[in-house]
Amino acid sequence: MPINTRRPVRDAEESENHPLALAATLQHLRQLRELRVERERRTQHLSGEAAFCQDEFQRFEVEPEAQDSEVSDADGQDFAAPLQPCSYLSAGQAWAGRQRVSRSSASRDEDWAVIVRLQECDLPCGYVCGTMCAMNVPSAKSSVITFWEGEIIDNVHNTFVTSKWGAKVETDWKHWEQFSAFTPLHREVMRSGGRSSKLRDNGFVFMRWKEKQFLNAGDDCGLTIAGFYYICLNRQTGSIEGLYYDSASTPYQRLNLKPMCEGGQGHSFGHFEFR
């Protein structure tokens, strides 16, 4: 589905029933004004890149085979090689950390503890899902838990190009390039319709997590799940970096998570299987 880069992003999001990510809907006028200013600032900032991104976008449009091809592109690059298993990507794995705004001017209202639990990971299908629990959110009375579903960037089921949730191609680049682990892949991904032949042997797994619903709170809990997270998992350490994107929320909200040893003092792995 091609993205209309001229259309206000907000429209696209409203058409979604449950857009994503846990971010503060800033309730005070002061914050709302700040938000609008921020959006304008970003729009101006992006306009310089607009022509370039438009070009990129058209490349995707005229090369549908490149997007769909399961085996390789013209250079013989292997995009279809499946990702390798990772101990941390298993159901039951939990991470703990914080979500905060990375700007220096950030208020403490936008900084809280987060626990993420992975509940299902289907690597061959590029699918993950789980819950996210935000604790001590200043605007919420109690912890807020959401259910999210995720896409693993594997070239086959999902590419670096989001093409939904209100994310434009330039939105994707702007966020992915914040991860230093993305830098070595950047050029090829831009050339190859959002895919990379280096994913199989990469020390990082890239994902998108999209919150789908509140599990213990209503939509009036002061948080929004309108956006989504760009995610980068360090396979060696299990730590996760995330960047939240929602055009209506404070930009550059970062997620930093470390794998938890729940209950125990070392690593342990539970297991279930659907029958």
Residues that bind other proteins (CB under 8 A): 84-87, 92, 119-120, 129-131, 147, 149, 201, 203, 212-213, 215, 235-236, 261-275
Q: Are strands 253-259 and 94-101 parallel, antiparallel or unpaired?
A: antiparallel
Amino acid type, 28: H
Strand partners, 127: 122, 151
Residue with smaller CB distance to other proteins, 193 or 259: 259
Helix (H, G, I), strand (E, B) or coil at 150: strand
CA angle, corner 131, sides to 115 and 148, nearest 5?
130
Shortest gap between Cβ of 8 and other proteins (angstroms)?
30
Residue with smaller CB distance to other proteins, 42 or 200: 200
Buried b (16+ CB within 10 A) or exposed e, 182-211: beebeebbebbbbbbbebeebebbbbbbbb
Residues 6+ apart with CB under 8 A from 257: 95, 96, 97, 114, 116, 239, 240, 241, 242
Shortest gap between Cβ of 96 and other proteins (angstroms)?
16
Could you give the count of Cα atoms lying within 13 Å of 240 in the half-sphere of its Cβ?
30
Shortest gap between Cβ of 122 and other proteins (angstroms)?
9
Spatial separation of the C-alpha atoms in residues 238 and 259, rounded to whole Å: 6
Residue with smaller CB distance to other proteins, 68 or 201: 201
Shortest gap between Cβ of 175 and other proteins (angstroms)?
24
Spatial separation of the C-alpha atoms in residues 67 and 89, rounded to whole Å: 26
Shortest gap between Cβ of 131 and other proteins (angstroms)?
8
Residue with smaller CB distance to other proteins, 108 or 275: 275
Residue with smaller CB distance to other proteins, 26 or 225: 225
Shortest gap between Cβ of 185 and other proteins (angstroms)?
16
Residue with smaller CB distance to other proteins, 149 or 246: 149
